Amino acid sequence: MSSFDQGQAGMVSLRAVNEWIGVINSNLGGSNRTAYKATRVSFGGGVAQIERDPRQEANGVQIPDSTLTIQNTRIDFSQGTIIQDGELTHLGISGDGFFAVTTAGPGTFTSGTLLDTRNDIFYTRDGEFRWTVFKGPSVTKTVLTTAGGLTVLASDGQAITRIGSGSTFSLTITKMSGAETSTNPVDAVTPGESEASVGVFRFPNNQALKFSKFGSTVFDNAQAGQGSQITDVELIQSSLESSNAALNDTLPELSLAQKLFSAVSKIINVANSDLDVVVNLIR
């Protein structure tokens, strides 16, 4: 391989390492975010060279691929630690599952109900929920939303509405049997109003979920197939799931990436020096 080719290979590898450092920095930043899932990088190479096929009577000459590329990234959906914080509207999922949220907001109420927005549904494990007042043309509702303002959906695909007008509330959480519900009856339920249950969904392949326009903790299921309600996880009230991006793993990885970046840079410098020598010989 010529010095020019080595320089080009070095540039490709340098870009891959730089992207890896970007992923590590994202994991470092996400270590303090609720329900953030770390991203892992898998590396691949370019095209290997076979200058002489290996035979029984003679060894072959095979040059491994000299470039480093990012083959794929994988989101680590392993469980983060569930931490209690005392906020009644906060929910943590213990197990594999996602809350369903939608972009529906003010003006989406008709006759006191939320319009069907199933075509604009996203999924998250961030249960840092709060009550938000939405005003429609004929009704005002207090609806459970995410910290970013997305409406949390119940198991029937509707908004979860606050029951009662005091500082406390009654929130129904779907038990995983599908029939029983568990309430936090700190406020009386208004007669005639139905209690909403929080929906939790699972996908056949979590790796097919992609980051949405709302960030790396809210996912779009465009490629993941239809989510199904699940029966084998637990919702923990007054709790949040912490990030699974651990500093004791991420910091050593960042150090390794920086050393690799420096090593690849030296390869490029050597290739450039060799090319300068060749040019000077021609002169």
Residues 55 and 136 occupy one common structural domain? no
Where is average pLDDT lowest: 55-64, 92-101, 136-145, 192-201?
A: 192-201
Mean per-residue pLDDT over the chain, rounded: 78
pLDDT digits (tens, 9 = 90+) for 214-235: 999 999 987 777 777 776 788 8
State how many domains the chain has: 2
Report how far Cα 132 is from the mean position of its chain's Cα atoms. Answer: 25
Residues 11 and 67 occupy one common structural domain? yes
Residues 117 and 193 occupy one common structural domain? yes
Where is average pLDDT lowest: 6-15, 69-78, 186-195, 255-264?
A: 186-195
Residues 168 and 72 occupy one common structural domain? no
pLDDT digits (tens, 9 = 90+) for 18-60: 999 999 999 999 999 999 999 999 998 877 888 888 876 778 8
Residues 249 and 230 occupy one common structural domain? no
Q: Is the pLDDT of residue 262 over 60?
A: yes
Question: What is the model's pLDDT at position 259?
Answer: 92
Question: What is the model's pLDDT at position 99?
Answer: 92
Residues 212 and 156 occupy one common structural domain? yes
Question: What is the model's pLDDT at position 283?
Answer: 65
Residues 168 and 100 occupy one common structural domain? yes
Domain boundaries, position 149: 82-241
Residues 91 and 212 occupy one common structural domain? yes
Residues 70 and 125 occupy one common structural domain? no
Residues 133 and 187 occupy one common structural domain? yes
Distances (CA, A) of 233 to 16, 31, 238: 38, 24, 16
pLDDT tier at 267, thresholds 50, 70, 90 = confident
Helical pair 247-282 and 3-30, crossing angle rounded to 10 deg = 160
Residues 96 and 156 occupy one common structural domain? yes
What is the value of pTM for the model shown?
0.78
% of residues, the chain, pLDDT over 70: 75
Residues 24 and 47 occupy one common structural domain? yes
